Amino acid sequence: MKKKLVIVGNGMAPGRMLEHLFELAPDLYDVTIFNAEPRVNYNRLMLSPVLSGEKTYEDIITHGDDWYLANGVTLHKGSKVEAIDRVARTVAAADGTVAHYDKLVIATGSVPFVIPVLGHQLPGVVTYRDLDDVEKMLAAATPDAKAVVIGGGLLGLEAAAGLKMRGMDVTVVHLMSTLMERQLDPPAAHLLEQEFEKRGIKIRTKSNTHSILGESKVMGLKLEDGTELPCSIVVMAVGIRPSTALAKASDITVNRGIMVDDQMRTNDPDIFALGECAEHRGVVYGLVAPLYEMARTIAEVLVEKPAAYGGSVMSTKLKVTGVDLYSGGDFAEAQDREEIVLRDASRGVYKRLVIKDNKIIGVVLYGETSDGPWFFDKLKKGEDVSKDRDMLIFGQAYAGGPPLDPTAAVAALPPDAEICGCNGICKSKITDAISEKGLTSIDDVRAHTKASASCGSCTGLVEKLLVLSLGEKYQANAVQPMCKCTDLGHGDVRRLIVAKQIKSIPQLMQELEWKTSCGCAKCRPALNYYLIAEWPGEYEDDNQSRFINERVHANIQKDGTYSVVPRMWGGMTSAAELRAIADVADKFQIPAVKVTGGQRIDLLGVKKEDLPAVWSDLNAAGMVSGAAYAKGLRTVKTCVGSEWCRFGTQDSTGLGIKLEKFMWGSWTPAKVKLAVSGCPRNCAEATCKDIGVICVDSGYDIHFAGAAGLDIKGTELLCHVDTEDAAIEVIAALTQLYREQGHYLERIYKWAKRVGLESIKTNIVENVEKRRNYFARFTHAQTFLQVDPWAERVSGKHAHEFLPMRSFPMQIAAE
C-alpha cells in the first residue's frame, strides 16, 4: 500500500516539493493537502502585478485543478488544520476533515504582522499576503480614493505602486529613515524614494503610526506627531512572522520558526517543516529561493535519498514596473570592509559593492541592474576579485575586454552562472534544456526548467539565452502582439485599459507607447471596442475606428453597394412587415431579396445614398437594424416550439424573441449568434451556435461555444436552469464575461478554449454572486447601447457618410 503524505498549507514551497517528489517517485505516496485558502496553488510573488492590473489571477495559477487531478492529489480547499495528533498520526481541520499520515509536512508560511494600534480591527485595514487581501484592496481602489500603506519595505512599496496604478492617492508611512533599509543602503533608498515621489506616491519616513481613525470603518490614520492622513484603506505591510501556532500546540519544537535539521525534520522524525514557517540553523527565510532548495531536500529525503540543506544567501529585486533595483548579500558598514561605489546622477544610476577579504559580500544596484547576477555569482562562489578590482564596478562589460552589448554579455557568462535567483537555475541548465528538448519560447523554458517562472525578473536574461541558442528562429514575443503598432497583446491592452483608467484612443496610444501615430485598421477597431466595453456611457465611440459596415450600419458588397437586413425577432415576421419590405424593394429598385441563413430577409444592392431613406421606411413599419454587419448580437434563431409543434416542450420562439429583444444592440468582441430549440430534435441548430438553448421538459439546457463557420464544433453544456428568467440571466452574464475577456475578433468558442471551460463555469454557474454582477453589468451597458442606429441616422447622425461631398454629374463646357 502507498504511504500517506499529508501537507498542511498549499503555498509555493510545497507546490515545488511535490513536483520534485513526483519526478523522483510518482507512485510512492498518496498525497493529501490542506489549504486554508479556498483555492488552488498560485504564484504569490505575482500578487503585485494582479493588484496593479498587469496580470489576472488566472495568469498566476501554478497548479490548477487539473494538475491535482492528474497527479492524484487530494486538495482540501478552504480547510484549515487546527490540530495534529502525533500519537494517532492524524491531522484534523476546522471543517471536520481528518487525515491520517505516515509523513507530515508543515508548510504554513507566515502570518502578516499587524501593529496593535487603536483602530487596527476596523474594516478597511488590510494586510498583504494572499489573493483575498488583493481583492479587498481592489474593492477599495476606486479612483481618487485615498490609501495609506504602513511599511516602506518590499511588500509595502509593491502595494503602493499597485494601488497608484489603480488610480488611488497613495501615501507610504515608514518608521525608519530610509525605504527598504533591510535591502538597500541609504543612497539607493534615496533614489528609490525620488522615483516613487515622481510617480505621485507620497513617502513619509521616520513616521510612527499613532492610531487608525474611524468609528465603523477606516477614515484616516494618525501619526505620532499628530498629523492626520485621511484615507479609506490602510494596508499594513510591516513584516511577517512564521506561522507556528499549529506546531507549538502539538509540542513540536519552535523557536522563532519551527526548528528543523539539515533534512528539514522537526523533533518528530516523521514531521517536516518547509518554507517560511521553518527555522534552519537559526535563520528564518522570507524569499522563495531558499524555500525551493528546502523543497528539493525534503522531496529527496522522502524518497530516502541522502540530502541535506545547507542554508542560502539571497538576492532581491523589487517588482515594480519601471523601477530597476537589485540587492544581495550583506552591505552593512563595518570596520573590516571596503566598498566600491559608482554614481551617475544624470542617468539615475547607483552601484555599490561591499568587499571583505578581497571577496564581494554585498551588492546594491539601482537604475541599471543587468550586472546583478554577474556580481552575485562572484559573491556566492566567494571569488577573489583583487586582480580586476579597478574595473569591477563597471560590470562584466569591462571585465578584461571591450564593452559588450547585453546579449554578448549574457553569452560571456560562465555556464554555472546563476540566471534565475528564485529557482537557482544556472545558465547551462537553461541552454541544455533549450537544445535537448527543442524549446522555443519563454513559456517552454518556464515549463521545463522553472527559470523565470517565479518573480519573473530574469525573463530578459532567459530571452537572451533563447536568442543565443536559436538565433533567428526565436520569436521574441511569446505573446502575439495586437498588430505592428505595438508589442502588447490583446490581453495586456485590455488589462492596462482598466489599470490605467484609459478612456480614449489617443490617451491609450500615448500611455501604451504606440509605435504609429494613429494605429492601423487592425488595432483601432479593437481598441474602440475595448473602450466601449470597459466604460459604458462614458466612452465616446470613435466612428473613424470602425469598419465601414459598422460605420454605415449595412454590409458593403463587392460592387460598393450595400445590403440591408432588418431584425425579425426570433425569426418571426408578419404580413405587414413583409409588405413593407416588398414596398421598399420596389421603391428603391433593390435588385435582390434573399432569405438568409439566419432566419430573416436580406435586401441586396442598395445604393449608399439611399440607405437612410430605406431605413426610414423600414423604421416606419416598426423594424430596426438587424446588425447583420456587427461585432455584436446577430440573430437568435428559433423553432416553432410548444406553440405549434407536437414535440415542443417549451415556448422556444417566445424565449428566442425575449433574448433578442434583451440583447440587441450589444457590442461584443466578435459576432454572437444564438438559437433556441424547443426539444432535443434541435431544429434551430442550437448546438452549433455561440450560445444555444435546448428546451426540455424540466426546463432549459444552456449550451455555448459552438461553431459552424470556418470551423465546425458542437457546443459544450454550460448548465441547466428551470425558468426562462434564469436562462436569460445566465446567457446575459455569459455574454458579459465574454465581452470583458474576449480578444477582438475571437468568437466565443475560441475564447472559451483560451480561458478554459472551467473558469467560465465557475464565474457563471457556480458563483451566483459573480453571475449576478456580470448580469448587472450587461444590463447597465445595454441602457446605453439599445439605440436603433438606423433611426439615429434617419434623423441626421453622420449624414456626411451617405452624401457625396460634391457631385459633378455631367460634362459642362464652362461653369
Partner 1 sequence: MNWIDIGAVDDVPVRGSRVVTTTAGDIAIFKTADSRVFALWDKCPHKGGPLSQGIVHDDSVTCPLHNWVIGLEAGEVRGPDQGCARKVETRLEAGRILLPSHILGRKAA
Ligand X SMILES: Cc1cc2nc3c(=O)[nH]c(=O)nc-3n(C[C@H](O)[C@H](O)[C@H](O)COP(=O)(O)OP(=O)(O)OC[C@H]3O[C@@H](n4cnc5c(N)ncnc54)[C@H](O)[C@@H]3O)c2cc1C
Interface residues with ligand X (CB under 6 A)?
Answer: 8-14, 34-37, 44-45, 47-48, 80-81, 107-110, 128-129, 155, 158, 243, 246, 275-276, 286-289, 291, 319, 422, 455
Distance CA 530, CA 508 (A): 11
Residue 521 makes contact with partner 1 by CB under 8 A: yes
Q: Identify the three-state secondary structure at position 552.
A: helix
- When CB distances are held under 5 to 8 angstroms depending on the partner's kind, the choice from partner 1, ligand SRM, ligand X, none that residue 521 binds is partner 1
Stretch that binds partner 1, among 539-547, 661-669, 708-716, 770-778 (CB under 8 A): 539-547
CB-wise, 36 or 125, nearer to ligand X? 36
Residue 400 makes contact with partner 1 by CB under 8 A: no
Interface pick for partner 1 out of 545, 619, 668, 759 (rule CB under 8 A)? 545
Interface pick for ligand SRM out of 635, 652, 677, 687 (rule CB under 6 A)? 635
Tell me phi and psi for residue 582, to 5 degrees. -65, -40
Residue 87 makes contact with ligand SRM by CB under 6 A: no
Residue 596 makes contact with ligand SRM by CB under 6 A: yes
Residue 680 makes contact with ligand SRM by CB under 6 A: no
Distance CA 289, CA 275 (A): 10
Q: CB of 10: closest distance to ligand X in angstroms?
A: 5
User: Interface residues for partner 1 in 303-332 (CB under 8 A)?
Assistant: none
CB-wise, 713 or 770, nearer to ligand SRM? 713
Are 690 and 705 within 8 A, CB to CB?
yes
Distance CA 634, CA 626 (A): 7
Distance CA 448, CA 455 (A): 16
The 601-630 contact track toward ligand SRM, x by CB under 6 A, reads -x-------------------------x--
Cβ contacts of 776-783, under 8 Å, gap ≥ 24: 777/536, 777/736, 777/740, 778/666, 778/732, 778/733, 778/735, 778/736, 778/739, 779/732, 780/536, 780/537, 781/533, 781/536, 781/537, 781/666, 781/736, 781/739, 782/662, 782/663, 782/665, 782/666, 783/536, 783/537
Residue 67 makes contact with partner 1 by CB under 8 A: no
Q: Can you say whether the dihedral through the CA atoms of 267, 273, 278, 282 is positive or negative?
A: positive
CB-wise, 107 or 636, nearer to ligand X? 107
- When CB distances are held under 5 to 8 angstroms depending on the partner's kind, the choice from partner 1, ligand X, ligand SRM, none that residue 563 binds is ligand SRM
Distance CA 279, CA 281 (A): 7
Q: CB of 314: closest distance to ligand X in angstroms?
A: 8
How many of the other CB atoms lie within 10 Å of CB of 658? 19
CB-wise, 43 or 677, nearer to ligand SRM? 677
Integer angstrom CA distances of residue 67 from 16, 22, 131, 264, 662:
13, 12, 20, 26, 40
- When CB distances are held under 5 to 8 angstroms depending on the partner's kind, the choice from partner 1, ligand SRM, ligand X, none that residue 36 binds is ligand X
Stretch that binds ligand SRM, among 87-95, 141-149, 281-289, 595-603 (CB under 6 A): 595-603
Of the candidates 433, 500, 505, 442, which has an alpha carbon nearest to the alpha carbon of residue 476?
Answer: 442
User: Interface residues for ligand SRM in 701-740 (CB under 6 A)?
Assistant: 707-710
Residue 789 makes contact with partner 1 by CB under 8 A: no
Residue 525 makes contact with partner 1 by CB under 8 A: yes
How many of the other CB atoms lie within 10 Å of CB of 463? 20
CA within 13 Å, CB half, 791: 10
CB-wise, 31 or 585, nearer to ligand X? 31
Interface pick for ligand SRM out of 488, 565, 752, 755 (rule CB under 6 A)? 565
Residue 646 makes contact with partner 1 by CB under 8 A: no
Distance CA 324, CA 365 (A): 8
Are 147 and 232 within 8 A, CB to CB?
yes
Are 406 and 464 within 8 A, CB to CB?
yes
Residue 806 makes contact with partner 1 by CB under 8 A: yes
Residue nearest to ligand SRM (CB): 709
CB-wise, 421 or 525, nearer to partner 1? 525
Q: Identify the three-state secondary structure at position 20.
A: helix
- When CB distances are held under 5 to 8 angstroms depending on the partner's kind, the choice from ligand SRM, ligand X, partner 1, none that residue 812 binds is partner 1
Stretch that binds partner 1, among 109-117, 269-277, 546-554, 728-736 (CB under 8 A): 546-554
Q: Identify the three-state secondary structure at position 814.
A: coil
Q: CB of 607: closest distance to partner 1 in angstroms?
A: 12
- When CB distances are held under 5 to 8 angstroms depending on the partner's kind, the choice from ligand SRM, partner 1, ligand X, none that residue 594 binds is ligand SRM
How many of the other CB atoms lie within 10 Å of CB of 620? 11
The 669-708 contact track toward partner 1, x by CB under 8 A, reads ----------------------------------------
DSSP string, 675-725: EEESSTT-TT-GGGSSEEEEEETTEEEEEE--EESSSEE--EEEEEESSHH
Distance CA 118, CA 448 (A): 50
Grid cell digits, residue 115: 501593529
Q: Identify the three-state secondary structure at position 270.
A: coil
Residue nearest to ligand X (CB): 11
Sheet holding 169-173, edge to edge: 125-127, 233-236, 146-150, 169-173, 202-204
CB-wise, 22 or 749, nearer to ligand SRM? 749
Block residue for cell numbers 463587392: 558
Stretch that binds partner 1, among 220-228, 264-272, 399-407, 802-810 (CB under 8 A): 802-810
Residue 600 makes contact with ligand SRM by CB under 6 A: yes
CB-wise, 7 or 497, nearer to ligand X? 7
- When CB distances are held under 5 to 8 angstroms depending on the partner's kind, the choice from partner 1, ligand X, ligand SRM, none that residue 807 binds is partner 1
Q: Where are the beta strands (DSSP E) in 231-357?
A: 233-236, 240-242, 258-260, 271-273, 278-280, 315-317, 325-329, 338-344, 349-356
Cα of 650 vs its chain's centroid, Å: 40
- Give the pairing of strands 125-127 and 90-93: unpaired
Stretch that binds ligand SRM, among 177-185, 275-283, 419-427, 590-598 (CB under 6 A): 590-598
User: Interface residues for ligand SRM in 45-74 (CB under 6 A)?
Assistant: none
Q: CB of 422: closest distance to ligand SRM in angstroms?
A: 41
454: amino acid identity, one letter:
S
- When CB distances are held under 5 to 8 angstroms depending on the partner's kind, the choice from ligand SRM, partner 1, ligand X, none that residue 288 binds is ligand X
CB-wise, 34 or 535, nearer to ligand X? 34
CB-wise, 108 or 486, nearer to ligand X? 108
- When CB distances are held under 5 to 8 angstroms depending on the partner's kind, the choice from ligand X, ligand SRM, partner 1, none that residue 333 binds is none
CB-wise, 609 or 758, nearer to ligand SRM? 609
Distance CA 101, CA 31 (A): 9
Beta bridge partners of 260: 280
Integer angstrom CA distances of residue 260 from 245, 281, 299, 391, 713:
16, 8, 15, 43, 55
CB-wise, 505 or 636, nearer to ligand SRM? 636
Enumerate binding residues for partner 1 (CB under 8 A).
516-521, 524-525, 543-549, 556, 558, 560, 800, 804-815
Q: Which residues bind ligand SRM (CB under 6 A)?
A: 555, 557, 563, 565, 594, 596-598, 600, 602, 628, 634-635, 673, 707-710, 747
